[in-house]
């Protein structure tokens, strides 16, 4: 062995020893280069649930990335992607730390319940920052807000189309005029995830971004705390489709690369379409919805995209695109109530 090699090896050895300190999480100490699973029990006195979390603590000192799956427990692609990431993320080859909430809303998952936790009928992604003395869902939100989000430098909340939602894959980030730095970093995260479409959530005027008002959304809670954040939406109709699971796994791997938490040259996404305006088509009637288009389709203003019948198969409403753009989301199953969103159309910049 030559002297330079010995020097390099000893430098690597010492940086490995000195570059990283143990990571404390939920009363447990993780040594550099290890991962650990946690089952966090949550109770409101009546109902019990738990939050499964994996923490990967890298060998080298670096950023902390928080990732949530299963905030909606019927959205399976992100949950299964989280399961795959247990093996994909190697703490020995990691710089920094990843806190991965495997299934934030186990009640919704095990109860096969779209949107809401059947234990208290609350939507976790409308319950942030939560309440330590509230219902079970509010306590889950409180745990994530207090014990996970403040530990993170970056945050990604992963969703897909819930049971009735035919949704095209996209990512979204928060744009806030008074927080240009965090907004720009959130945009970078969103662009690194390898999706063709990026939604710009313009939040400067939104109540949920105002101090003193609830943040409602998981990732908005992170953003309000000054943590760059993005949402993934990938998968549809509460189904497991391998290509969407893989797309999420690859997206997180690209993000780790982008944040220099793993080795390799970050891949710059090209040809991303940014969407900063969305139109929602709302149903005027209750009945059966028949979509004539699917998500990801470009439509022109005035194009017929579906119709609604009553319970005796009489057409009571014809549904037209109210603007030209791409269908981000479309109601994909028959039940429809008056006032519900039938489709969301994104205007590509
Ligand atoms: Zn969701």
CATH number at residue 331: 2.40.50.100
Contact 336, 342 (CB under 8 A): yes
- Distance between Cα 258 and ligand 1 center (Å): 25
> Are residues 245 and 279 located together in one domain of the fold?
no
Helices marked H in 28-179: 76-88, 106-110, 136-143
**Among 184, 171, 187, 153, CA closest to 252:** 171
- Distance between Cα 265 and ligand 1 center (Å): 31
208 is in which domain, residue-wise? Answer: 3-271
> Are residues 311 and 266 located together in one domain of the fold?
no
| pLDDT mean over 164-172 | 98
> Are residues 261 and 296 located together in one domain of the fold?
no
- Distance between Cα 162 and ligand 1 center (Å): 6
- Distance between Cα 3 and ligand 1 center (Å): 56
Is it the case that residue 7 has pLDDT exceeding 50? Answer: no
Residues facing residue 167 across a β-bridge: 329
28-85 per-position pLDDT tens digit: 999 999 999 999 999 999 999 999 999 999 999 999 999 999 999 999 999 999 999 9
Last residue of a domain, one of 230, 245, 271: 271
Amino acid 269: pLDDT: 74
Mean pLDDT of the chain: 94
- Distance between Cα 32 and ligand 1 center (Å): 33
Share of the chain above pLDDT 90, in %: 91
225-240 per-residue burial string, b: 16 or more CB within 10 A, e: under 16: bebbbbbbbbbbbbee
Is it the case that residue 12 has pLDDT exceeding 60? Answer: no
- CATH number of the domain bearing residue 141: 3.40.630.10
313-343 per-position pLDDT tens digit: 999 999 999 999 999 999 999 999 999 999 9
Amino acid 8: pLDDT: 45
Domains identified in the chain, total number = 2
| pLDDT mean over 199-214 | 96
Last residue of a domain, one of 271, 298, 328: 271
> Are residues 245 and 263 located together in one domain of the fold?
yes
Model confidence band, residue 6 (pLDDT cutoffs 50, 70, 90): very low
Last residue of a domain, one of 271, 303, 335: 271
- Distance between Cα 33 and ligand 1 center (Å): 32
> Are residues 113 and 232 located together in one domain of the fold?
yes
Amino acid 267: pLDDT: 74
> Are residues 115 and 256 located together in one domain of the fold?
yes
- Distance between Cα 274 and ligand 1 center (Å): 21
> Are residues 65 and 117 located together in one domain of the fold?
yes
- Distance between Cα 240 and ligand 1 center (Å): 14
- Distance between Cα 69 and ligand 1 center (Å): 9
> Are residues 280 and 208 located together in one domain of the fold?
no
> Are residues 85 and 159 located together in one domain of the fold?
yes
- Distance between Cα 37 and ligand 1 center (Å): 24
> Are residues 287 and 225 located together in one domain of the fold?
no
pTM (two decimals):
0.93
> Are residues 56 and 125 located together in one domain of the fold?
yes
> Are residues 263 and 310 located together in one domain of the fold?
no
Neighbouring residues of 285: CB distance < 8 A, sequence distance ≥ 6: 308, 310, 316, 317, 336, 338
- Distance between Cα 270 and ligand 1 center (Å): 27
């Amino acid at each position: 062995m030559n002297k330079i090699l010995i020097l390099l090896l000893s430098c690597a050895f010492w940086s490995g020893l000195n570059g990283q300190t143990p990571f404390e999480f939920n009363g447990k100490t993780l040594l550099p280069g290890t991962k650990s699973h946690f089952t966090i029990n949550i109770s409101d006195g009546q109902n019990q649930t738990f939050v499964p979390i994996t923490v990967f603590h890298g060998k080298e000192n670096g950023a902390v990335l928080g990732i949530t799956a299963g905030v909606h427990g019927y959205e399976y692609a992100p949950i299964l992607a989280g399961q795959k990431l247990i093996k994909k993320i190697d703490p020995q080859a990691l710089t920094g730390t990843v806190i991965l909430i495997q299934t934030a809303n186990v009640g919704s998952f095990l109860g096969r319940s779209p949107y809401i936790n059947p234990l208290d009928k609350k939507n976790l992604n409308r319950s942030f920052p939560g309440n330590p003395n509230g219902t079970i869902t509010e306590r889950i939100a409180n745990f994530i807000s207090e014990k996970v989000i403040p530990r993170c430098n970056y945050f990604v909340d992963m969703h897909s189309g819930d049971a009735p939602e035919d949704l095209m894959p996209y990512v979204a980030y928060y744009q806030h005029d008074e927080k240009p730095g965090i907004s720009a970093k959130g945009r970078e995260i969103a662009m690194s995830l390898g999706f063709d479409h990026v939604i710009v959530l313009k939040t400067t005027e939104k109540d949920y971004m105002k101090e003193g008002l609830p943040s409602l959304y998981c990732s908005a809670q992170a953003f309000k705390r000054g943590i760059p954040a993005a949402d993934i939406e990938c998968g549809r109709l509460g189904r497991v489709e391998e290509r969407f699971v893989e797309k999420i796994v690859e997206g997180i791997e690209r993000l780790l690369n982008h944040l220099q938490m793993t080795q390799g040259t970050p891949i710059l996404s090209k040809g991303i379409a940014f969407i900063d305006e969305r139109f929602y088509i709302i149903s005027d009637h209750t009945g059966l919805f028949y979509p004539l288009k699917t998500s990801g389709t470009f439509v022109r203003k005035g194009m017929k995209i579906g119709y609604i019948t009553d319970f005796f198969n009489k057409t009571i409403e014809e549904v037209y695109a109210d603007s030209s753009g791409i269908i981000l989301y479309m109601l994909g199953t028959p039940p429809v109530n008056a006032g519900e969103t039938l489709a969301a159309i994104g205007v590509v910049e």
